[in-house]
A and B are shown apart, each in its own frame.
Chain A
Amino acid sequence: AQSVSQHNHHVILSEAASLELGCNYSYGGTVNLFWYVQYPGQHLQLLLKYFSGDPLVKGIKGFEAEFIKSKFSFNLRKPSVQWSDTAEYFCAVNAGGNTGKLIFGQGTTLQVKP
């Protein structure tokens, strides 16, 4: 069965620190990959997505992610976090086919200290 694993459940950083959140998935075929963010009191929002092409994708608010097919990974990065990045981050996989079904990781809570 398809699954998504996020290694860090709770991350605490100071402002200006660099961020990397790990995401691994298990599926042998073609996948579409997403990172969503949920700010406190708000709905899930799309940060970035990978479908094909350049494995380094850039999203909103300075976030980027790199798809490494050989490692089944799609890690999220940001060079310098801000207090406003405090949120829960979800990695998700759509394993193809004509469906919008997403498999989510457990989520990572990021707390940025001012």
Chain B
Amino acid sequence: KAGVTQTPRYLIKTRGQQVTLSCSPISGHRSVSWYQQTPGQGLQFLFEYFSETQRNKGNFPGRFSGRQFSNSRSEMNVSTLELGDSALYLCASSLSGGDSQPQHFGDGTRLSIL
């Protein structure tokens, strides 16, 4: 079956703009989590959605937001982009997001801020 699909694969934006990233989970998976990966900070948890509700949130400013649709697809939005937002953004899905369920990761969206 198809894996986790993230679009677009690459994005270039300038400071102050906003961006929306999309994630389609594996069919049947209802939990979607987002992570930011940078060389300096590694992989950091952004938030998790389950049944269209944000279930958990990491330590990121309010400029980072997300949502989940009834078909479990999720979007992540970053407003007022800063240079430090340049990163690989990863989406992961699991059946129900329980603590014992492994996350399945997408290829990521590489966001570059000029």
| Residues on A facing B (Cβ under 8 Å) | 32, 34, 36, 42-46, 49, 51, 90, 92, 94-107
Q: How far is the CB of B89 from chain A (nearest CB, A)?
A: 12
Q: How far is the CB of B41 from chain A (nearest CB, A)?
A: 9
Main secondary structure of the interface of A (DSSP, over half): loop
B3 touches A100 (CB 8 A): no
B97 touches A49 (CB 8 A): no
A100 touches B105 (CB 8 A): no
What number of B residues sit within 8 Å (CB to CB) of A?
Answer: 28
A99 touches B42 (CB 8 A): no
- Please, how many angstroms separate the alpha-carbon atoms of A98 and B4 in the complex? 21
Q: How far is the CB of B31 from chain A (nearest CB, A)?
A: 5
B45 touches A103 (CB 8 A): yes
B105 touches A43 (CB 8 A): yes
Is B72's beta carbon under 8 Å from chain A?
A: no
| Given known A99-B56, A101-B33, A101-B56, contact A46–B99 (CB-CB < 8 A) | no
B-chain residues with CB within 8 Å of residue A49 when the two chains form the complex: 100, 102
Question: In chain B, what residue has the closest Cβ to A49?
Answer: B102
